[in-house]
Each structure stands twice: as structure tokens, then as C-alpha cells.
């Protein structure tokens, strides 16, 4: 896209028009977008066109100085502040909130010249693994419309998979970029903790949250990471670590990309291939690792012995931090407020009781309990100590000289909407392969590795702190060796159905599930349930 834009063969406005039209036409059936900002997007596209035209007049150096994303459409998860726009975080309590400033990520995207088309659906406050916990209805997976796109950044993942945008921003606290990337068959990167400024992003769990890119290939993901990464004075946790310019120069050629795999040391952690992993997912991941081995990588099995303690310790730390972060929604400064009783505490209780959804309440309750008098040592402190052990497991792998850890991203492919809503623990188990990476603060990228039962499987590459460039080079290498694999040519199977106005929306599907009525219309009876 960058080359066509800079050569003047296509305008940013034409790109924005085409992508907006697809998003507007298909969003009823997908519910990937909570807001599509046509007017604002076209104004940004015209500005990008002016920048590109000016640079072309000034010459090659000025053109080379443009960021490759200048003029390229992008989607933002609806917890990223865009001045004057909404930021619901998927919650009723922030419905109607208008962001008074740009997040740093937004400002950097504007500086690069990318064109923001709108805001995407998500699990409320990024708590969930399916986007079903959005107060504005679930999102459908373009590969199978009766299935979830993963979560919490499911709207961003679905929008990229559906070709509504080539790149999007998500956030990842326990897998919320990588897992939906896996389920939607795209690339999703969670950077090292501290890599991207979180100023202006609605907080969930502050020692775990990171912002990162979605894209359909590793090169585009690298471009977006380059645009948003780096130290920001407004976020004290953003690290003064240089952002490598090589992110702009991942090899376009498949053979050159594949040559990077030669001699790389890849670790295969046995704990990630245990119970609960779908056989089809295990098979695709093992095939992917075997393909990299055949291309010259050295693969060795390793042990991350505290993996089994990850889930329990994460589901103490994340809720504890969320209960503290979400204390700010008090009906005083912004957001929904119920002041009908006129009595302070009663109004407070009503505001939060009506403003938050079931999963957010559950986590606030868990976190409040884990931090409450008499339980702090048994739960929160214990979990922080276990976190030390989990991090030490990873440190031992890097000390042994490995370049990356290869694992499944999600233990399952996309599951039917409604399948896991009744049992919170079943939903939490979907994060087992991703959340240890957040606990250790490491970068992780999920890349498509073929299909199982016609649904995408993700391969997760986990690296040492600040190794995003190496992870993306490995990902690009894997793309190089699989460039001619038949599954690479496959498109999201049910995307064409989203053009059909009789296709039910995810909200309608959800209503039918609740009332027990049989689902009708295209994309409803294509597959049997996953046990």
C-alpha cells in the first residue's frame, strides 16, 4: 500500500473510501466496529494525500522520510483515547464519554499519517477471551459467523481479518491481542512491557497491560509497532529503550526471510502441549516447528515448570489490579452516574451496579477479596511470589541461549458464540498459553499456522525482553517457508455472507441462543459444536 500511495497510483482518500464502504456494509453481520468515523477519516486521508503530494514534489529524500503507514487505514480498539471521540472500553459505564485528549498511541499514529477509520468492539474493560463480554453485543468471526473472534481485542482482529483495515491497535493483558489474532488467522504482537506508552488508554491491570499491533502479515505488524513504540514522558512505565529502525525493513523476499531461520535456537516447552490442547491445534503447531527445523532452526524441548501455576496467579493479580483501577468509576468525574437516591453511598452502589457488566463485577469482586484484610498474604502476595518463579522459568531459557520459545497461542480454535459464557473458569482456561508471557513482561507474537477443522490456528513465538525485532524476523521467516502452502491462499470462509442482509447479526444470534430458538439464515448450521 505504501509503495502505491507514494507513487501516486492510489490516493489515501480512495483507500479510505473503499475500506469504509466494506466496513459499513459488513458491520451489521460482524459487529466488529463500535464506531465508524467516515467524516473524520476522509479528512485525515485528504491530509495524508497532501503530505504525500508535497513530499513527492520535494523529492526522494522527503518521500523516504514519510512513514510507510502514511495514508494507510487503521482501526483502534475502543479503549484508545481519540480527542473528541468515544472511548467506551466496551462498557455501559463509559457510554457517552468523550475523550478530552489524544492518547500517545493516537498522537503517534497521526504523526505517521495513518488514517483512523473508527473504534472496534472489545470485551468490557478488556476482560474476556471472546468479545462476548462487550456491553454492545458480541463480534462474529469472519471465518465462521456463529463463532467468536477471540478477545478481548476481537473487534480489531475481526476487522483486519475481514479486510476492513490492513492494521489495527489492540491491547494485551493476558492474551488479548495474540488469542484473537490466532482465532482470526492474522498476526498479533504483544510487545515487551514498557515498549509502548499507555498514556490515554483505559487501564485494566497496570503491571500486565501492553498495547500492540494487528496485521495480516509480520511486515505490516512491524511497521505499526515502529510507529507507536518508544519512551513517552507521560507514561512512567514506558522504557527508554531504542526502537530499532530495522522494523521498517523486514525482508520482502521469501527466500531472504527464510534464511533468517538458519541456526536459530527454538525452545519447545513441554508444558504447553498438555491436557486441554485440541489435537488439531497441537498438530499445526508441531508441523510449523518441524518446518522451521527443516529450514535450519535448531529445536529442543524445554521445561517451564511453573506453567501450571500461571492461571491461578494471573487470576489473582489481574483482578486485584482491576479492582483498584476501576475504583475510579464513581459517577463523579465522568461516565454513567445514578444520582436518583440522593444518598452518597446508595448512589455509588447503584452507579457501579448498573454501569458494569457481569464479568467486570466478577473480577472486581475477586480482586477486592484477594486484597482485603486477612487475605492479602494468602492471595496477592503469594501470587506475586509465584510470578517471580514464572519469570525465572523464562529467564533460564534465555540464559541457555535460545532465541525464542514456540508454543500454541490458544489451546482451541474459535468456539461457538455462547459456548463458554456460563462457566468463567472455562473461559479463563483459554488464556493458559498466553498469560505467562504477560506475567513475565515478555514480547510474544501470534502468527497464522494453518487451519484445523477449517478454522485458523496460531503459532506463538515468545522472546526475551525487547526482542520484538527478532520475533518478527522469525515470523517473517516462517511466512517465507510457508508462502506457497495451500492454506495461505484461503480467505475467511464466511466473509462473503456478511454482504447478505439476511445474515443474522451476532446480537440476533445471541438473542436466539438465550431464547432457545433455532438459529436461521446463512452461517448458522455449517458446523457441529465443539465438545
Contact between 361 and other proteins per CB under 8 A = yes
The strand pair at 444-452 and 404-408 is best described as: unpaired
Q: x-or-dash pattern for other proteins, window 89-118, by CB under 8 A? A: --------xx-xx-----------------
| Phi and psi, residue 502, nearest 5° | -90, -5
Distance of alpha carbon 208 from alpha carbon 340, whole angstroms: 37
b/e for 111-130, b at 16 or more Cβ within 10 A?
ebbbbbbbbbbbbbbbbbbb
Contact between 119 and other proteins per CB under 8 A = no
Segment 206 to 225, residues that bind other proteins, using CB under 8 A = 207
> Which helix (DSSP H) or strand (DSSP E) does residue 447 occupy?
strand 444-452
Q: Is 77 a residue of the active site?
A: yes
Segment 400 to 439, residues that bind other proteins, using CB under 8 A = 424-425, 428, 439
400 Cβ partners below 8 Å, 6+ apart? Answer: 267, 302
Q: Is 152 a residue of the active site?
A: yes
Contact between 487 and other proteins per CB under 8 A = no
Active-site residue, selected from the candidate residues 91, 103, 134, 176? 176
Segment 137 to 196, residues that bind other proteins, using CB under 8 A = 192-194
* CB count in 10 Å sphere of residue 317: 25
Contact between 345 and other proteins per CB under 8 A = yes
To which residue does cell 480527542 refer?
Answer: 83
Segment 12 to 31, residues that bind other proteins, using CB under 8 A = none
Of 92, 362, 512, 527, which lies in the binding site for other proteins, with binding defined by CB under 8 A? 362
Shortest gap between Cβ of 423 and other proteins (angstroms)?
Answer: 8
Using the rule CB under 8 A, give the single segment among 71-79, 147-155, 259-267, 334-342 that binds other proteins.
334-342
Contact between 235 and other proteins per CB under 8 A = no
Of 32, 115, 364, 406, which lies in the binding site for other proteins, with binding defined by CB under 8 A? 364
Contact between 136 and other proteins per CB under 8 A = no
To which residue does cell 515468545 refer?
Answer: 462
Shortest gap between Cβ of 284 and other proteins (angstroms)?
Answer: 28
Contact between 399 and other proteins per CB under 8 A = no
Grid cell digits, residue 110? 497521526
Of 81, 313, 325, 498, which lies in the binding site for other proteins, with binding defined by CB under 8 A? 313
| Phi and psi, residue 280, nearest 5° | -65, -35
Distance of alpha carbon 292 from alpha carbon 313, whole angstroms: 33
Of 339, 488, 514, 520, which lies in the binding site for other proteins, with binding defined by CB under 8 A? 339
b/e for 284-297, b at 16 or more Cβ within 10 A?
bbbbbbebbeebeb
Segment 279 to 308, residues that bind other proteins, using CB under 8 A = 306, 308
b/e for 347-363, b at 16 or more Cβ within 10 A?
bbebbbeebbbebbeeb
Using the rule CB under 8 A, give the single segment among 137-145, 259-267, 350-358, 402-410 that binds other proteins.
350-358
Peptide bond into 198 cis (omega under 30): no
The smaller minimum CB distance to other proteins, of residues 333 and 484, is found at 333
Contact between 199 and other proteins per CB under 8 A = no
The smaller minimum CB distance to other proteins, of residues 386 and 472, is found at 386
527 Cβ partners below 8 Å, 6+ apart? Answer: 144, 146, 453, 454
Active site residues: 77, 152, 176
Amino acid at each position: 500500500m505504501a509503495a502505491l500511495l507514494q507513487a501516486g497510483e492510489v490516493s489515501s482518500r480512495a483507500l479510505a473510501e473503499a475500506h469504509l464502504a466494506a466496513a459499513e456494509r459488513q458491520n451489521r453481520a460482524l459487529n466488529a466496529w463500535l464506531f465508524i468515523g467516515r467524516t473524520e477519516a476522509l479528512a485525515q486521508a485528504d491530509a495524508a494525500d497532501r503530505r504525500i503530494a508535497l513530499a513527492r514534489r520535494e523529492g526522494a529524500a522527503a518521500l523516504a522520510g514519510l512513514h510507510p503507514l502514511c495514508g494507510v487505514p487503521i482501526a483502534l480498539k475502543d479503549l484508545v483515547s481519540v480527542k473528541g471521540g468515544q472511548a467506551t472500553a466496551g462498557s455501559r459505564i463509559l457510554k457517552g464519554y468523550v475523550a478530552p485528549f489524544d492518547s500517545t498511541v493516537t498522537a503517534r499514529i497521526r504523526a505517521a499519517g495513518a488514517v483512523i477509520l473508527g473504534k472496534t468492539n472489545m470485551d468490557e474493560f478488556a476482560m474476556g477471551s471472546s468479545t462476548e463480554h462487550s456491553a454492545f453485543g458480541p463480534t462474529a468471526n469472519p471465518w465462521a459467523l456463529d463463532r467468536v473472534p477471540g478477545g478481548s481485542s476481537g473487534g480489531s482482529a475481526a476487522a483486519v481479518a475481514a479486510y476492513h483495515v490492513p492494521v489495527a491497535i489492540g491491547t494485551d493483558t493476558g492474551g488479548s491481542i495474540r488469542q484473537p489474532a490466532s482465532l482470526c488467522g492474522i498476526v498479533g504482537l504483544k510487545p515487551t512491557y514498557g515498549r509502548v506508552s499507555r498514556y490515554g488508554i483505559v487501564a485494566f491491570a497496570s503491571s500486565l497491560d501492553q498495547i500492540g499491533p494487528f496485521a495480516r502479515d509480520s511486515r505490516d505488524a512491524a511497521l505499526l509497532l515502529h510507529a507507536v513504540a518508544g519512551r513517552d514522558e507521560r507514561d512512567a512505565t514506558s522504557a527508554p529503550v531504542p526502537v530499532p529502525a530495522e522494523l521498517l525493513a523486514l525482508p520482502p523476499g521469501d527466500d531472504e526471510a527464510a534464511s533468517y531461520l538458519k541456526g536459530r535456537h527454538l525452545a519447545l516447552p513441554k508444558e504447553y502441549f498438555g491436557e486441554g490442547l485440541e489435537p488439531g491445534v497441537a498438530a499445526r503447531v508441531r508441523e510449523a516447528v518441524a518446518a522451521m527445523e527443516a529450514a535450519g532452526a535448531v529445536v529442543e524441548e524445554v521445561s517451564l515448570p511453573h506453567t501450571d501455576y500461571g492461571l491461578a496467579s494471573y487470576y489473582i493479580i489481574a483482578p486485584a489490579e482491576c479492582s483498584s483501577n476501576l475504583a475510579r468509576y464513581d459517577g463523579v468525574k465522568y461516565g454513567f452516574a445514578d444520582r436518583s437516591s440522593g444518598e452518597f453511598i446508595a448512589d455509588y452502589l447503584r452507579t457501579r451496579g448498573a454501569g458494569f457488566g457481569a464479568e467486570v463485577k466478577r473480577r472486581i469482586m475477586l480482586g477486592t477479596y484477594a486484597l482485603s484484610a486477612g487475605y492479602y498474604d494468602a492471595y496477592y502476595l503469594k501470587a506475586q511470589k509465584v510470578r517471580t518463579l514464572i519469570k525465572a522459568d523464562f529467564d533460564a531459557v534465555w540464559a541457555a541461549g535460545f532465541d525464542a520459545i514456540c508454543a500454541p497461542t490458544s489451546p482451541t480454535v474459535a468456539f461457538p458464540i455462547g459456548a463458554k459464557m456460563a462457566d468463567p473458569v472455562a473461559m479463563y482456561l483459554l488464556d493458559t498459553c498466553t498469560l505467562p508471557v504477560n506475567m513475565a513482561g515478555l514480547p510474544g507474537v501470534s502468527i497464522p499456522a494453518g487451519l484445523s477443522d477449517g478454522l485458523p490456528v496460531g503459532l506463538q513465538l515468545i522472546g526475551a525482553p525487547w526482542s520484538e525485532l527478532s520475533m518478527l524476523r522469525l515470523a517473517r521467516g516462517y511466512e517465507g517457508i510457508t508462502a506457497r502452502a495451500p492454506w495461505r491462499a484461503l480467505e475467511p470462509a464466511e466473509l462473503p455472507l456478511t454482504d447478505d442482509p439476511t445474515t443474522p447479526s451476532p446480537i440476533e444470534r445471541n438473542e436466539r441462543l438465550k431464547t432457545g430458538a433455532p438459529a436461521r439464515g446463512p452461517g448458522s448450521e455449517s458446523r457441529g459444536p465443539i465438545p
